Amino acid sequence: MYDVIIVGAGAAGLTAAIYTCRKKLKTAILSIDVGGQTNLTSHIENYPGTGPMHGIELMRRFQDEATGFGAELIMGKANKVEKIENSFRVGLANGEAYDCKALILAYGKVPKSLGIEGEEKFMGRGVSTCVTCDAPLFKKRDVAIIGGGNSAVEGALELATFAKKVYIIHRRDAFRADEITVGKLKQNQNIEIVINSVSLKINGEKNVESIDVENTITKEKRQIKIDGVFIEIGYVVDTSFVQHLVKVNEKKEIIVDERGNTSCPGIFSCGDITPVPFKQTVIAAGDGAKAALECYRWLTGGKGAVLDWTH
């Protein structure tokens, strides 16, 4: 039984963990990754106090601090939350379950999935949702990237600096990215543009070996041999597995007050999964600290009020 389980290990979740651990609460973090959206930024200049650095490096520091203060990091996708008497049980996709007295939901936005065969099976074994994180793994190999927005087009250009060949697969006939970026894409000899095409299936034995695509106009099918597939079709708020406990708004974001309280006593929330208007690392961190201190206050029956400076 943990005092607190934090779902998500981005700026909000890791900061919350720093604060709950420093209040001597037994804390576990359940997450599919470490770093969240901050990882996607190669050069953060506006997180105060650290100087410019890669988002991944900044999040590694947050992680080291959270685990250094005693947080236990458990990798896995939370997909079930039950209220059992005075505690909560959080289930992971792999069947494991963990109990806690209080819960902080800080898992932010999650990458949209294509919903095709092989996608989930090969996740982490050729399928990735983070170019910045995983591009270096595909040096001199062939990869596909799926999507038509800025992040897909920029991702293709970044991948092309590592990979031998990059296929960018987009279901429409034009890219939504900036013209300048699309221009660079068209000029790059290592990139093959596959437009008007939908992905049908990712194939392989242990790892990704190929992807089946279909031209939406000619209905022609094609199998492209590749070693990796990057899915860059955007991010989405997924609160489907907690909506029986907490109120959400019309965008499915978890409604919180200014201290991170949700509509369910004992469940707190912070970061991109809430309606906070500005998506910034320092803002997520600040709101993570608020949710953690409010959680501490709740667990201690309001006696743990932290109404003054308590560095």
For the window 222-261, what string marks contact with a copy of itself as x by the rule CB under 8 A?
------------------------------------xx--
| 205 versus 308: smaller Cβ distance to a copy of itself | 308
Residue of 156, 285, 295, 299 interacting with a copy of itself (CB under 8 A):
285
Structure tokens at 10: 């981005």
| 239 versus 261: smaller Cβ distance to a copy of itself | 261
Residue of 1, 84, 180, 307 interacting with a copy of itself (CB under 8 A):
307
58 binds a copy of itself (CB under 8 A): yes
Q: Tell me the closest approach of the beta carbon of residue 296 to a copy of itself, in angstroms.
A: 10
Is 21 annotated as catalytic? no
Q: Tell me the closest approach of the beta carbon of residue 155 to a copy of itself, in angstroms.
A: 15
Amino acid 118 reads G
Q: Tell me the closest approach of the beta carbon of residue 76 to a copy of itself, in angstroms.
A: 23
Rounded to whole angstroms, the Cα distance separating 119 from 111 reads 12
First to last CA, the chain: 27
208 binds a copy of itself (CB under 8 A): no
295 binds a copy of itself (CB under 8 A): no
| 35 versus 204: smaller Cβ distance to a copy of itself | 35
Is 130 annotated as catalytic? yes
| 43 versus 140: smaller Cβ distance to a copy of itself | 43
302 binds a copy of itself (CB under 8 A): no
Residue of 49, 95, 115, 302 interacting with a copy of itself (CB under 8 A):
49
Rounded to whole angstroms, the Cα distance separating 233 from 214 reads 17
Q: Which long-range contacts (CB under 8 A, 24 or more apart) does 189-194 make?
A: 190/160, 190/163, 190/164, 190/165, 190/166, 191/156, 191/157, 191/160, 191/165, 191/166, 191/167, 192/165, 192/166, 192/167, 192/168, 193/168, 194/167, 194/168, 194/169, 194/170, 194/224
Is 264 annotated as catalytic? no
| Binding interface with a copy of itself (CB under 8 A) | 11, 14-15, 18-19, 22, 37-38, 40-41, 43-51, 55, 58, 61-62, 65, 258-259, 276-287, 289-290, 293-294, 306-311
Active site residues: 130, 133-134
